[in-house]
Amino acid sequence: MPDCIESLLAQSHIHWEALIVNDGSTDATSEVVRLYASKDDRITLIEKENGGLSSARNAGIKIAKGTHFIFLDSDDFLYDNCLEQIALLLVDSTEKKIIQSGYTYITEDKDRILSQVKIYQKKSLFPEIFNGNLGPCHSLCISAKLVENIGFFDETLKSVEDWDFWMRAIKAGGYVTTISDPLVYYRYSKNSMSRNPFVLYDALKIVISRGPKKDSRISIESPLNRDYDFDIKPVLKNVLLRSIGLGVMQGEIDTTLAFFKKETLQPIENYTSKDFELMCSYLSFRYWYSRSDIHHVFSVIYPNFILFFKAAGYDSYFTKRALYFIFKRHIFYKNIYTYGKTAGSLVNFVVRNFNEKLLIHS
């Protein structure tokens, strides 16, 4: 929380208000916010009973005085020039302009940058918006008027409520203007160990199914809010693989396999080894690359995946190929840590060529 608030106080653009919602937390959140609010009247504390993330955001929307919103979670924070860069693009903007910046993944302790994502202007967000979310919620700025026209965050969703929200915004005629360079930090937390993959997939399935359909929650006429001829099956397949990757990582082998068989839209024997690469994602252990992370991945997580493929009935050859695709980035890091940068790079060259040219095509 302090990092989030301090990043606001450090902004070169000073005209902002921060509505900080304590959604029923019993920790020191309210005391921390009150201390900041006593020193800066741009900060306001809202206290409410626990209702979840969507409920908290909606509470802020209802009393906000500003013309534009950024939804900033307590773990995340902004570059010092973030609001200044956004404000420059708000000059002469329409109510349907959505501003999106690049973003930086950073470790929980802020000690290491994991990845920097630049984004680029697109002519159209259809059908891209049906394939996946635009980006972290706080990397986007939306007008209060457009929010009024598309409705609040869906409080019935247990996850991916932001994807549902941005999908509505685009269908309502919202268009994205981009700032390519990162302006926000997304703190990568290892809370995936406690995230429920099955609840997550249920929410994803709801949002994906809504995507190509006209949305009655949008209160304005828009030619983009209509039914689309779009096959959601490949999208469901992708998010299912990411979700079961999380379940296997957590060691829920039998439960995850039963869920996989129940939800898959194709027989499991029809999957290719490369399909399973999606089991390593931002939902699970995609950014676990430190020395200690690599040790944990191969001593704890890797064996879980061996058990999963064995329980699923895949043979050893298929399993070997699938494990390569799932763990190839971690294998490369392990070799660098084991043999050093120069020798490790050579080993990785051999490993990559063997697996992707000889093993996979044999």
What is the tens place of the pLDDT at every residue in 188-237? 877 655 689 999 999 999 999 999 999 999 999 999 999 999 999 999 99
- 175-188 and 97-107 beta bridge pairing: parallel
For tokens 């096959």, name the residue.
231
User: 359 pLDDT band (50/70/90 cuts)?
Assistant: low
**Structural domains of the chain, ranges and CATH numbers in brackets:** 2-210 (3.90.550.10), 233-359 (no CATH)
Q: Tell me what pLDDT residue 192 has.
A: 58
- For residues 104-113, give the mean pLDDT: 89
pLDDT at 92 over 90: no
Phi first, then psi: what are they for 287, rounded to 5°? Answer: -110, 25
- 43-48 and 18-23 beta bridge pairing: parallel
- Comparing CA positions, the residue from 198, 210, 206 lying closest to residue 242 is 198
Question: Global pTM?
Answer: 0.91
d(CA 189, CA 148): 32
CB 95 within 8 A of CB 23: no
Alpha carbon of residue 130 to chain centroid: 15
Q: Tell me what pLDDT residue 90 has.
A: 92
d(CA 144, CA 17): 14
What is the tens place of the pLDDT at every residue in 38-83? 999 999 999 999 999 999 999 999 999 999 999 999 889 999 999 9
Q: Which amino acid is at 112?
A: R
The length of the chain in residues reads: 362
In the chain, the percentage of residues whose pLDDT exceeds 90 is 85
Q: Tell me what pLDDT residue 361 has.
A: 47
The residues facing 186 across adjacent strands are 105
Alpha carbon of residue 229 to chain centroid: 26
Environment class of 241 (CB within 10 Å of its CB; exposed 0-12, middle 13-18, buried 19+):
buried
- For residues 183-190, give the mean pLDDT: 88
